[in-house]
Amino acid sequence: MGGLAQQHQIHGAQPVLPVPDVAAAADWFVRVLGFDVDFLYGDAPHVHGRVKCGQPGPEGWGAPIYIHLSRRTSPLQTGAEIRLHIGHDIDGLHRHAIDAGATVLGAPVDQPWGLREFVLQAPGGHRLVLGAEAPSH
């Protein structure tokens, strides 16, 4: 880590996804990916929220992931994608996402960069790329 980043202990990215309905988007992350609702802010309709997954420390499997959800009533423009690393059974997660009614943009594919990936369309039209280490052939 670079000197300035280390000096200030900059760590952890928390993307903010603009969505038309914060509570519905939070519910989607719970149903489709097993996240927990960390908080919802403001009277209904909520104006901001955050979902989280993972636990730090010896009982956890990695650093927590936090995704903020921010209500936007104007037309949403997306272009970025968020990549989430999956520790194992990406094919099982793919099947679960389909069963949960998520918009899945294709089956898992082994990529030349060593990951097996599939893409979900998240609330607000955002793209989530889920990837796991591809099995060795």
Letter for the amino acid at 89? Answer: D
Q: Taking 90 as the threshold, does the pLDDT of residue 21 lie above it?
A: yes
Q: Is the dihedral of CA 61, 81, 34, 66 positive or negative?
A: positive
- What are the pLDDT digits (tens) for 86-123? 988 999 999 999 999 999 998 999 999 999 999 999 99
Which pTM value belongs to this model? 0.85
pLDDT of residue 94: 96
Q: Taking 70 as the threshold, does the pLDDT of residue 68 lie above it?
A: yes
In whole angstroms, give the CA distance from residue 79 to residue 127.
8
**Among candidate residues 36, 105, 106, the one with its CA nearest the CA of residue 66:** 36
Joined tokens for residue 87: 């520790």
**Among candidate residues 22, 1, 99, the one with its CA nearest the CA of residue 67:** 22
How many other CB atoms are there within 10 angstroms of residue 95's CB atom?
Answer: 14
